[in-house]
Amino acid sequence: MPVGVKNYFRKIERKLLILVSIYTLLGAGVLYMLGLAPSLNVIIIGALITVFTFWALNYYWSLMDYRGDPFLFPLVALFASTSLIFLCRLNPIYAARQFVWLMGGLLVLLTMTRLLTNYWVLAHYKYIYALAGIVGLVLPIFFGVEQGGAKSWLDLGFFSLQTSEFVKILLVLFLASFLTENRLLLTEGTRTVMGVGLPTIREWGPLVIMWGVSLILLIFQKDLGTGLIYFSTFLFIVYASTGRASYVLIGGLMFLTGAGASYSFFHHVRMRVEIWLDPWQHIETYGYQVAQSLFAIAAGGIAGAGIGAGLPRYIPAVHTDFIFAAITEELGLAGGIALIIMYIIFVYRGFVIALQAGDDFSSLLAVGITSLMGLQSFIILAGVTKMLPLTGVTLPFISYGGSSLVANFIILALLLNISHANNTIREERPAPALESELQAV
């Protein structure tokens, strides 16, 4: 990449944004022609503002010579547009609210890319993350309200906040900072038992505690999907930093034990598994959701029924967890796979950023948030297609929901900032003091 050519990154981004803009405006036009939009003015103005905001961000970044990855933002813009188009098609009220959240998310993105380019400062506060994370998980248990079977929402008056969406970022920040410090100890071990180096409890203790607490809390919140995401992200980061398959293996075993235990103790866990094995047996009750999702996906065929021609009203929770089923019914297998490919590109870019990073903290942070995004997408996509047991989580950037959308924009901002640093480092970035400290450990 020819570093030094000014705004090279933003130029690529601009070309991609042209495609996204055409897509968004076309979508809005089709919605209007099919009579699915509230009124011409609302939909056209909404689409124009959305597109304009994407361009404004791109323009601002080129002014400040921001060198974040040029592919991530257009991808996210495309996800966000798809989300608005389909939410509008399902229920314009959802699209209107999601539009507001999208603007909020873009503002967060702008702010973070402006003010947090020196993200290394985040490495200092690992125990604060742990504490804040635990508080974020405990609060809903006592003060939370239940939505869709999971008690993980805080009612803040005019909107409700799903704290676990933000806690997952705190989890990654904690793990990235902790492992940056203790990476070598965990990899090599300080004691040797039968020729295998083992780390002491001081090194792995905090990890296990953090992990255990989050899982137990999630079981109490009945939010299995989020628990699964936390846990798999945890394993991903540990593997990235230590490269020890044995940790993943032990972790996997612990997970299976926990899963087995919760299978026998918790009815809602047992139900999920039974539905997964045979949804038809419980079709009138618990299996209804996933069966409807499969019906919708199958109804799409290869090319889809066409927007507005599907029957998404038969799918429960279609605007949140099951939005992918509605999209596949109307855009077909082709549209569904196109979305999957875009998530693959996002994940791929994320890992490339992690590989290019100049220090362990940046690298682990990039791995962590990319894994978070990728795993969450995979878990919900595999759930609605019955490839894995269904656990209700949102599809990043597409499902309806403000907490999830804003949290995902924070992830995007962090990734872009790491990428910006990677692309700046060779010529002008002064080596941060912290990094040399970290390397010394």
H or E element, residue 160? strand 160-162
Number of residues in contact with other proteins under rule CB under 8 A? 50
Contact criterion met (CB below 8 Å) for 107 and 411: no
Stretch that binds other proteins, among 85-93, 270-278, 304-312, 400-408 (CB under 8 A): 304-312
31 lies in the binding site for other proteins (CB under 8 A) = no
309 lies in the binding site for other proteins (CB under 8 A) = yes
295 lies in the binding site for other proteins (CB under 8 A) = yes
How near is the Cβ of 376 to other proteins at its closest, in Å?
11
Stretch that binds other proteins, among 66-74, 240-248, 250-258, 427-435 (CB under 8 A): 240-248
Alpha helix stretches (DSSP H) within 301-398: 323-356, 360-384
Stretch that binds other proteins, among 189-197, 301-309, 406-414, 416-424 (CB under 8 A): 301-309
Taking CB under 8 A as the criterion, the residue among 297, 327, 395, 412 binding other proteins is 297
How near is the Cβ of 261 to other proteins at its closest, in Å?
26
283 lies in the binding site for other proteins (CB under 8 A) = yes
How near is the Cβ of 110 to other proteins at its closest, in Å?
28
Distance CA 270, CA 24 (A): 42
Q: Nearest CA to 392 among 237, 265, 227, 233? A: 227
Helix 163-188 and helix 201-221: axis angle, to 10°?
160
Contact criterion met (CB below 8 Å) for 145 and 153: yes
Give residues 261-280 in contact with other proteins (rule: CB under 8 A).
280
Taking CB under 8 A as the criterion, the residue among 243, 426, 436, 439 binding other proteins is 243
96 lies in the binding site for other proteins (CB under 8 A) = no
How near is the Cβ of 311 to other proteins at its closest, in Å?
6
Taking CB under 8 A as the criterion, the residue among 25, 44, 154, 382 binding other proteins is 382
110 lies in the binding site for other proteins (CB under 8 A) = no
340 lies in the binding site for other proteins (CB under 8 A) = yes
DSSP 267-299: HHHHHHHHHHH-GGGGTTTTTHHHHHHHHHHHH
Beta pairing, strands 160-162 & 144-147: unpaired
Stretch that binds other proteins, among 194-202, 266-274, 373-381, 433-441 (CB under 8 A): 373-381
Distance CA 142, CA 217 (A): 11
Q: Based on CB atoms, which residue is closest to other proteins, 387 or 431?
A: 387
How near is the Cβ of 138 to other proteins at its closest, in Å?
30
Q: Based on CB atoms, which residue is closest to other proteins, 153 or 378?
A: 378
Give residues 171-210 in contact with other proteins (rule: CB under 8 A).
183
249 lies in the binding site for other proteins (CB under 8 A) = no
Q: Nearest CA to 429 among 356, 378, 376? A: 356
Distance CA 397, CA 271 (A): 28
Q: 3-state DSSP: the chain helix, strand, coil percent, rounded to 5?
A: 75, 5, 20
387 lies in the binding site for other proteins (CB under 8 A) = yes
Tell the burial category of 312 from Cβ atoms under 10 Å away from its Cβ (0-12, 13-18, 19+). Answer: buried
Contact criterion met (CB below 8 Å) for 331 and 300: yes
Taking CB under 8 A as the criterion, the residue among 355, 426, 431, 436 binding other proteins is 355
Distance CA 272, CA 279 (A): 9
294 lies in the binding site for other proteins (CB under 8 A) = yes
Q: Based on CB atoms, which residue is closest to other proteins, 203 or 360?
A: 360
Distance CA 23, CA 35 (A): 18
Tell the burial category of 275 from Cβ atoms under 10 Å away from its Cβ (0-12, 13-18, 19+). Answer: buried
Stretch that binds other proteins, among 112-120, 199-207, 382-390, 423-431 (CB under 8 A): 382-390
Contact criterion met (CB below 8 Å) for 71 and 352: no
How near is the Cβ of 373 to other proteins at its closest, in Å?
10
How near is the Cβ of 309 to other proteins at its closest, in Å?
7
Q: Nearest CA to 262 among 319, 301, 215, 310? A: 215
Q: Nearest CA to 51 among 75, 30, 21, 79? A: 21
How near is the Cβ of 340 to other proteins at its closest, in Å?
5
Stretch that binds other proteins, among 53-61, 99-107, 221-229, 376-384 (CB under 8 A): 376-384
363 lies in the binding site for other proteins (CB under 8 A) = yes
Q: Nearest CA to 290 among 277, 304, 305? A: 277
Contacts with other proteins, residue ranges (CB under 8 A): 183, 236, 239-243, 280, 283, 291-292, 294-295, 297-303, 305-306, 309, 311, 314, 328, 333, 336-337, 340-341, 343-344, 347-348, 351, 354-355, 360, 363, 367, 371, 374-375, 377-378, 381-382, 385, 387
